Structure formats: structure tokens, C-alpha cells
Amino acid sequence: MCIVGAGAIGGWIGTRLAATGAADVSAIARGATLAALDTHGWRLEEHGELIAAPARVAASPADLGEQDVVVLAVKATSLGSALDLVAPLCGAETAVVPFMNGVPWWFAPDLTLDSVDPGGQIAAAVPYERVIGGVVHASCASIEPGLVRHATGNGLIVGEPAGGPSARVAALGDVLRSAGFEVTESPDVRRDVWYKLWGNMTMNPVTALTGATGDLVLGDPLVRELCSTAMREAQEIGARIGCPIAETPEDRHAITSRLGALRTSMLLDVEAGRPIELDALIGSVHELGRRLDVPTPAIDALFGLTRLFGRVQGLYPSS
């Protein structure tokens, strides 16, 4: 198994796999992360302890050869540039497992979503049939190159994009459980992707725009209702694409409230001056709404405001 993107989530997964011996794991890395992994190995701060394990790492995929599984744990904004790293790792039976934020390129195989895969470039490089869908329910941060801090959550969801069980999903689930993850083999991983997005698509842009933590966002009645309105719009889209959500926005807010002063991934990216994953997290929902003729005024407002903010700050493309 090879990890492409040994940052926060990739480092968490890679360290666990290596430290437990659950899999023969390697990584593709560049720059400071490559140097850190080469020097120190995998490192993970978890429950106040440092977990470490030797790392097999390379800058070129040709040095590692074909893999049974490739875990894609890059930011959505970096996926296009990572495609050249994935192809040499793939043999005839290699599965690619994206553990990424937002709507992925494989989510709607009958549609090419320009917001996440302009021109179908990603789908051409990593076709639908090769993908095992993945969803992460955990909070991790890369506190320096090659060193990850795990804060909360231990859940990984994996499943066939087309739904139903499969031998390869069962085998992957067994490996991940052996590394200590709480694994769900989902019969409909698209619904799991959409459900996670349902909360992230509002909390991420609002925290990025305001600099507020999650508790402050939900503590303001006007902002909370804006989030709820956008979520109701997304529920209608979900119902149209086979991803219904039975909960109310208030049900989901209650779950988010338990996380306290949440610093979303987009807020952390803004603070660090990194490009924001706006298209995957809300631009994709905006695009789906337009294609399905579902009115999305609240989603459109959140997307437009955050897009403008990102452009002014140099964190989102100008065109």
C-alpha cells in the first residue's frame, strides 16, 4: 500500500499501518516532508504519546513500483498535480482510495463536474472502476513536515462507488481494522460522502470568511439559520441524486456543537496561507444545483462570498 499525500490524514493512516505492521506501507513525498520521513520515519502524536515507525519513502513512484492499494490523501486543490504520481503505482488490479474532502471526481459517473474535474482529466487518469470510495471521520493536523497530531475521531468508511459489498472492500477493511481504525464497509458510500459534506459545506466557508470557530458560528442565530437554509437546499439536491438525508439541520448542528471550538480545515488553510478547497466543498454543490434546476440562493451566496474572499487573499484562482 502506498500513501500519496503524507500530510495530516495521510500521515495518520500511514503511521498507524506502519507501527502496527498491518500493511507493508510506503509513501510518495517531496521537499521537507520527504526529508522528515526519510530522517525520522512516520511520526504521530496521539493521546499524548508519540508513535513512530520506519518509513519507506520516495520522491518518484518508479522507485516503489506497482501497489495493491494507493491511498490518495492530498488536498483537492493538489489532486491534478498528483495524477502523474498515481499512474506508475497502478497495476491491473490496483485500487485507488481517495480520503479527501468534499465531492470527489467519481461521485457522479454520469456527469463530469467541472468544479472538481474540469474536462474529465482526473476520471481519465483514475477511472471509476479503479476507485474504492473513502470517508474520514477524524481531525488531524500536520504540525510540522512529517509529524501529525491526531485530535479526535477514529472512523474510516470505505465502499464501492456503485454500492454493495465486494471482496476488495472487505480486504481493505480488514487491513485498516488491524491498524486500529474504526472501519465501516458501507453499502452506499456516496450517501456517506454526501452526509459528511452536508455539514462541511457550510461550516468550512463560514469559518474561513469570519475567522470564527464552530461554536461561535452556531452560537449566532442569524449565521446558524443561514447555514440551516443552505443545508436544506443541499438536502433537496441529495434527494434528487440518491443521497437522501433524514435528519434536520438542527440535528446536525447538535452533533457539530459537541466538537466545541472547531477549527475547520478551510479556516486552518486560510490561517496558513494555503489554497482553499472551495470547489470540492461547496462549488460542487452549487454546480449540482444548477444542473438539477434546484434553487440554491443560500449556497450561491456562501460560495460567491468565499470565492471572492479567496481571490482577494490569493487563496483561490482568479478565473
**318 found inside a domain:** no
- Please tell me whether residues 240 and 178 are part of one structural domain: no
Please pick, among 56, 177, 196, 274, the residue that the annotation labels catalytic: 196
- Among the candidates 165, 187, 209, a domain finishes at 187
Cell of 93: 488490479
C-alpha cell at 200: 462541511
Domain count within the chain: 2
* 170 in the same domain as 221: no
The 3-state DSSP class for residue 91 equals strand
- Which region holds residue 21: left if phi is over 0, alpha if psi is between -120 and 50, else beta? left
Please choose, from the candidates 221, 224, 194, the residue with its C-alpha nearest in 3D space to the C-alpha of residue 284: 194
- The pLDDT value given to residue 255: 93
Which residues are within 8 A (CB) of 190 and not within 5 positions of it... i.e. 6 or more apart? Answer: 107, 133, 161, 163, 242, 243
What pLDDT does residue 88 have? 95
User: What is the pTM for the complete model shown?
Assistant: 0.94
Cell 488536498 sits on residue:
75
| Residue keyed to cell 497495476 | 91
Grid cell digits, residue 282: 461547496
DSSP letter at 258 equals T
- Contact criterion met (CB below 8 Å) for 5 and 115: no
pLDDT score at 268: 92
Q: Grid coordinates representing 129?
A: 472502476
**Final residue belonging to a domain, choices 187, 205, 237:** 187
Say if residue 219 is in the same domain as residue 259.
yes
Give phi and psi for 140, each to the nearest 5.
-135, 155
Pairing of strands 133-144, 147-159: antiparallel
d(CA 83, CA 240): 31
CA–CA gap between residue 72 and residue 127 (Å, rounded): 14
* Same domain as 110, residue 91: yes
Q: What is the pLDDT of residues 34-68, one digit of tens each?
A: 999 999 999 999 999 999 999 999 999 999 999 99
- Inside any domain, residue 95: yes
Residues 145 and 285 in one domain: no
Based on the fold, state whether residues 49 and 174 are members of the same structural domain. Answer: yes
Distances (CA, A) of 240 to 3, 87, 244, 245, 286: 34, 34, 8, 11, 14
Q: Is residue 319 part of a domain?
A: no
Residue 216 and residue 143 in one domain: no
Is 197 among the domain residues?
yes
Going by C-alpha positions, the residue among 64, 63, 61, 104 that lies closest to residue 84 is 61
- What is the C-alpha separation between 223 and 298, in angstroms, rounded? 11
Are residues 226 and 172 located together in one domain of the fold?
no
Sign of CA dihedral 247, 249, 253, 254: negative
Which pLDDT value is given to residue 165? 96
> What CATH number has the domain bearing residue 293?
1.10.1040.10
Residue 44 Cα to chain centre, angstroms: 19
* pLDDT, tens digit (0-9, with 9 covering 90-100), for 93-121: 999 999 999 999 999 888 889 999 998 99
Mark whether 75 is an active-site residue. Answer: no
Domain range holding 290?
191-313
Q: Which residues of the chain have pLDDT under 50?
A: none
Counts of helices then strands in the chain (DSSP H, E): 13, 10
Q: Quick check: is 63 in a domain?
A: yes
- Spatial CA neighbour of 242 closest among 133, 108, 132: 108
Q: Does residue 91 share a domain with residue 75?
A: yes
21 contact partners, CB below 8 Å, separation of at least 6: none
Is 90 in the same domain as 167?
yes
Domain boundary among 187, 211, 226: 187
